[in-house]
């Protein structure tokens, strides 16, 4: 597998990639033309905020499986394009939040006290204190827009300066405002009217781009001070320029611009603006953290494993992912039975989670089941990212439910697949020892520890058949590891499940099918 590192990440991250045995090319400053011409040779790319991962890029990236964003914001990555191609996008949302919060406070203090301007003057060997009088933070009101990871760190830190913290974030609970000591504002206008300082910490979305503009500056306190260490344009640049010039805004601390990495903006030339070139995450600690995290995630994703920070998948905390892992494996195994037993098109897949498993983020387990169902017929074209899209495009209804009865098991995952006329059911559990068990196939109860090679045979329930199957496999040098027979009624049909130590050639399966009393034989490869 080949990975392209297109923007600078910490050496620790590069070392981790190399140690994984993957081939790594570090091409910092690669031109767009070179990138588009060579990206077809790579399985993964690692970028920061500069490289545009858009439709044009995807059209050239014919072998790409993973985009690793060394950082938080994914506004330079077109998500739909990735998802429809099954490309997994991973980021490192927690790795640089402290650095970004500290940089925010640095910008707030340095713009409020004119520190960089005074520094530049004295370095020019000029002593002048008259122009640099600033403001204290004590007893001032700071309005935080977006009380997520970074906004909340800023809130708690600014309280230690004796500031009154108010916040606007319509998407979080009242408890979160309380937890971070922020007074909740119902509208952005309320926050703007009451703030001496405003700092924005939302992602860049259609709703947030330009959310602080001329209208807000009209109602803001005269002399308000603003900080944008989130994304360029959340505070409208042209409106901010006007407000800084007409004295509505006394100062601004800016880390991000709409057009990056282009150092051209009217804001740059204004004396009352302190500006940095997107340095929020640029600390040794954050970069080590980001580099290492993104490297590990890209390796996991390339190996087809679920990763905690996959942006185009349901979000999982690391701990939850650890608890859920056995079910991901179980789900994939159960799913893989279907198309190896049946050649037909599916209309509906119902999945019922009961017992312990029901308390987890089961949508991720559903993805693993879908991945398992499609893998035997689509091979590597299916993964966690595109599995539900594949189901949708095939017109399959996927229904997830939580059941109240796990029968005698600690947990139970039961799948009912409906095709044109028939239904197929399969159920499995994770045992107390953490092992996957298949406990039902089409109404036949069993306790199967699934293995790489399995034979499933339907037979008439009468003496002699099991012995013939054993003898024939022996003659054909196939070693049986385990065998189970399940029947519901004496003398009717039974299901035979054999785990074997090797692949079984087609002709051997045909010989088995020819045994008198065998109805059909299927081979399952996991
Ligand atoms: N300058 C840097 O180097 C740097 C570093 C890291 C992150 N960032 C940026 O900082 C920002 C915040 O990152 P985070 O990790 O805290 O994100 P987060 O997802 O944890 O929090 C964002 C918050 O914004 C809220 N929000 C969304 N839309 C909103 C709206 N219309 N009005 C009010 N609130 C809204 C969300 O509910 C959420 O609570 C992002 O834009 C990220 O890209 C910048
Ligand atoms: O360093 C970067 O690439 C940007 C960091 C930051 O804006 C982020 O979104 O994580």
Which of the four pLDDT bands, split at 50, 70 and 90, describes residue 308? confident
Lowest-confidence pick of 34-38, 191-195, 340-344: 340-344
Confidence check: pLDDT of 107 > 80? yes
pLDDT at site 351: 98
Confidence check: pLDDT of 84 > 90? no
For ligand 2, say whether the CB of 309 is within 6 Å of any of its atoms.
no
Average pLDDT (334-338) is 96
For ligand 2, say whether the CB of 97 is within 6 Å of any of its atoms.
no
For ligand 2, say whether the CB of 281 is within 6 Å of any of its atoms.
yes
* Alpha-carbon gap, residue 3 to 366, rounded angstroms: 29
- Kindly state the percentage of the chain with pLDDT values over 70: 100
Separation of CA 443 from chain center: 36
Domains of the chain, earliest start first: 2-94+285-302 (3.40.50.720), 97-275 (3.40.50.720), 316-449 (3.30.1330.90), 451-526 (3.30.70.260)
pLDDT at site 149: 92
* Residues paired with 68 in a beta bridge: 46, 90
Beta-strand pair 183-184/224-228: unpaired
User: Which amino acid residue places its CA nearest to atom 7 of ligand 1?
Assistant: 72
Residue 420, helix vs strand vs coil: coil
The DSSP H or E segment spanning 82 is helix 79-84
pLDDT at site 267: 96
* Cα angle 382-387-391, degrees, rounded to a multiple of 5: 115
Ligand 1 atom with the smallest distance to the CA of 93 is 15
Which of the four pLDDT bands, split at 50, 70 and 90, describes residue 306? confident
Ordered DSSP codes for 359-398: GS-HHHHHHHHHHHHHHHHHGGG--TTTHHHHHHHTT-EE
Residue whose C-alpha is closest to residue 412's, from 388, 438, 433? 438
Give the CA distances from residue 115 to residues 126, 420, 498, in Å, rounded to whole numbers and listed in that order. 14, 73, 76
Confidence check: pLDDT of 380 > 70? no
Average pLDDT (285-303) is 96
For ligand 1, say whether the CB of 308 is within 6 Å of any of its atoms.
no
User: Which amino acid residue places its CA nearest to atom 18 of ligand 1?
Assistant: 148
| ipTM reported for the complex surpasses 0.95 | yes
Helix axes 318-341, 362-378, angle to 10 degrees: 40
Most confident of 85-94, 113-122, 203-212: 113-122
pLDDT at site 318: 74
Q: Say how many Å lie between the CA of residue 231 and the centre of ligand 1.
A: 8
Average pLDDT (387-405) is 92
Separation of CA 416 from chain center: 28
Residue 463, helix vs strand vs coil: coil
Average pLDDT (404-421) is 92
Terminal C-alpha separation, the chain: 23
User: Which of the residues are catalytic?
Assistant: 231, 260, 278
Average pLDDT (255-261) is 94
| pLDDT tens for each residue of 164-221 | 999 999 888 888 899 999 999 999 999 999 999 999 999 998 889 999 999 999 999 9
Q: Pick from 7, 52, 73 the residue to mutate for probing ligand 2's pocket: most ligand atoms within 8 Å of its CB.
A: 73
* Alpha-carbon gap, residue 497 to 440, rounded angstroms: 11
Average pLDDT (472-477) is 94
Which of the four pLDDT bands, split at 50, 70 and 90, describes residue 319? confident
* Alpha-carbon gap, residue 224 to 192, rounded angstroms: 9
For ligand 2, say whether the CB of 185 is within 6 Å of any of its atoms.
no
For ligand 1, say whether the CB of 72 is within 6 Å of any of its atoms.
yes
Tokens in use for 422?
């028939």
* Alpha-carbon gap, residue 157 to 182, rounded angstroms: 12
Q: Say how many Å lie between the CA of residue 368 and the centre of ligand 1.
A: 30
Q: Say how many Å lie between the CA of residue 88 and the centre of ligand 2.
A: 19
Residue whose C-alpha is closest to residue 300's, from 309, 288, 291? 309
Cβ contacts of 168 within 8 Å, gap of 6 or more: 143, 144, 145, 146, 184, 185, 186, 187, 188, 190, 191
Secondary structure in 3-state letters for 487-519:
ECCCCCEEEEEEEECCCCCHHHHHHHHCCCCEE
For ligand 1, say whether the CB of 208 is within 6 Å of any of its atoms.
yes
Ligand 1 atom with the smallest distance to the CA of 74 is 43
Confidence check: pLDDT of 369 > 90? yes
Residue 266, helix vs strand vs coil: helix
pLDDT at site 252: 98
Which of the four pLDDT bands, split at 50, 70 and 90, describes residue 86? confident
For ligand 2, say whether the CB of 201 is within 6 Å of any of its atoms.
no
Confidence check: pLDDT of 342 > 80? yes
Q: Pick from 96, 102, 258 the residue to mutate for probing ligand 2's pocket: most ligand atoms within 8 Å of its CB.
A: 96
pLDDT at site 316: 72
| pLDDT tens for each residue of 414-461 | 999 999 879 999 999 999 999 999 999 999 999 999 999 999 999 999
Average pLDDT of the chain, as a whole number: 94
């Amino acid at each position: 597998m080949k990975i392209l590192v297109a923007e600078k990440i910490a050496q620790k991250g590069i070392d981790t990639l190399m140690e994984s045995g993957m081939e790594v090319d570090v091409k910092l400053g690669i031109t767009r033309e070179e990138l588009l011409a060579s990206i077809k040779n790579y399985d993964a790319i690692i970028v920061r905020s500069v490289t545009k991962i858009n439709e044009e890029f995807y059209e050239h990236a014919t072998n790409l499986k993973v985009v690793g964003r060394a950082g938080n914001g994914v506004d330079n990555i077109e998500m739909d394009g990735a998802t429809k191609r099954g490309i997994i996008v991973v980021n490192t949302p927690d790795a640089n939040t402290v650095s970004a919060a500290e940089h925010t406070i640095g910008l707030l203090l340095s713009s409020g006290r004119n520190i960089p301007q005074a520094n530049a003057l004295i370095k020019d060997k000029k002593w002048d204190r008259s122009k640099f009088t600033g403001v204290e933070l004590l007893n001032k009101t700071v309005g935080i827009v977006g009380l997520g990871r970074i906004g909340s760190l800023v809130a708690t830190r600014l309280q230690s300066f004796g500031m009154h913290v108010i916040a606007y974030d319509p998407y979080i609970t009242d408890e979160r405002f309380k937890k971070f000591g922020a007074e909740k504002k119902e509208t952005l206008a309320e926050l703007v009217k009451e703030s001496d300082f405003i700092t924005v910490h939302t992602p860049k979305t259609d709703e947030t781009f330009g959310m602080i503009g001329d209208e807000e500056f009209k109602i803001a306190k005269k002399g308000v001070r603003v900080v944008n260490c989130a994304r360029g344009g959340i505070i409208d640049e042209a409106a901010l320029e006007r407000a800084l010039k007409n004295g509505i805004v006394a100062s601004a601390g800016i880390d991000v611009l709409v057009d990056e990495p282009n150092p051209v903006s009217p804001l740059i030339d204004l004396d009352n603006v302190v500006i940095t070139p997107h340095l929020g995450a640029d600390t040794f600690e954050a970069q080590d953290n980001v580099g290492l995290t993104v490297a590990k995630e890209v390796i996991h994703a390339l190996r087809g494993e679920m990763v905690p920070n996959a942006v185009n998948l349901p979000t999982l905390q690391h701990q939850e992912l650890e608890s859920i892992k056995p079910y991901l494996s179980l789900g994939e195994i159960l799913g893989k039975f279907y198309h190896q037993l049946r050649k037909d098109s599916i209309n509906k897949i119902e999945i019922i989670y009961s017992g312990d498993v029901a308390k987890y983020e089961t949508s991720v387990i559903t993805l693993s089941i879908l991945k398992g169902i499609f893998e035997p017929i689509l091979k590597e074209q299916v993964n966690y990212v595109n599995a539900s899209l594949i189901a949708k495009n095939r017109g399959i209804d996927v229904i997830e439910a939580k059941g109240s009865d796990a029968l005698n098991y600690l947990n139970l995952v039961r799948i009912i697949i409906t095709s044109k006329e028939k239904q197929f059911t399969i159920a499995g559990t994770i045992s107390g020892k953490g092992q996957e068990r298949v406990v039902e196939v089409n109404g036949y109860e069993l306790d199967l520890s699934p293995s790489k090679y399995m034979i499933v045979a339907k037979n008439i329930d009468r003496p002699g058949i099991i012995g013939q199957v054993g003898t024939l496999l022996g003659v054909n040098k196939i070693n049986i590891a385990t065998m189970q027979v399940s029947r519901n009624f004496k003398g009717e049909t039974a299901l035979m499940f054999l785990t074997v130590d090797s692949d079984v050639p087609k002709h051997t399966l045909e010989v088995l099918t020819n045994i008198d009393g065998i109805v059909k034989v299927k081979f399952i490869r996991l």
